[in-house]
Amino acid sequence: MTAVDDRLQAWDDAQMLPETFEDIAALAARDEEGLCFELIGGKLGVKRVPDAIHEAITMWLLRQCIQQKPQWDLHTGQGLKVESYRNGRARPDGTLAPVAHFVGRTVGEWADPDGVLMAVEVTLRDRDTNQRDRVDKPRAYAESGIPVYLLIDRDRREVSIHSDPQDGAYRDRHVVAFGKTVALPEPVGIELDTRQLLEWTEGAAAPES
């Protein structure tokens, strides 16, 4: 167990303020490179270094978004202030927004989610995936008013699309198995052919160059 793991265990039962989180995350990042710290529901969490397939999927989605909607950017690693009172801190694997949307809007590492079109997560196959990506993140992004939450679920080999945020929850959830084409709802409005995702998760093909 690393020093960061020890700290996370010690803080697991504490309800943390955003300011405290930001201080702790900055200190811990100096000790452990490549870790992504988040604050959801008052709890400190950490996302491990992505593996090769995770990175390939993120870049695949980035290309799809730019090709179909060149007026938008898919940011990777952009910090967002989330939840009802912006007390949470999240780093989606992808944040879809108009080109240059965050210029002049970001204070430090964290931006307000207003104007964000979609948040994206790709599962990491770690022990926190179920709670973080399937429970906590949909709630946090819905409370923030982000219109669409896209979960690319490698374990279940499916794409889960959450939309229509109301009263702190997404009212609509649509699940499509890898290998099929899925239409993302407005304001995103693009189609994704997920056959490549199926090939990668089955280990049948190497990522495209």
Residue 121 has pLDDT above 70, yes or no: yes
Handedness of CA 57, 63, 69, 73 (dihedral sign): positive
Query: What's the pLDDT band for 54 if we cut at 50, 70, 90?
Result: very high
* Interaxial angle between packed helices 195-202 and 52-68, expressed in degrees from 0 to 180 and rounded to the nearest 10: 170
- CATH architecture classification, 50-202: Alpha-Beta Complex (3.90)
Nearest Cα to 141, choosing from 77, 189, 188, 80? 80
Average confidence (pLDDT) over 4-24: 59
Residues 136-171 have pLDDT tens digits of 999 999 999 999 999 999 999 999 999 999 999 999
**Kind and range of the H or E run holding 55:** helix 52-68
Domain ranges of the chain: 50-202
Question: The whole model's pTM is what?
Answer: 0.85
Q: Helix, strand, coil shares of the chain as percentages rounded to 5?
A: 30, 30, 40
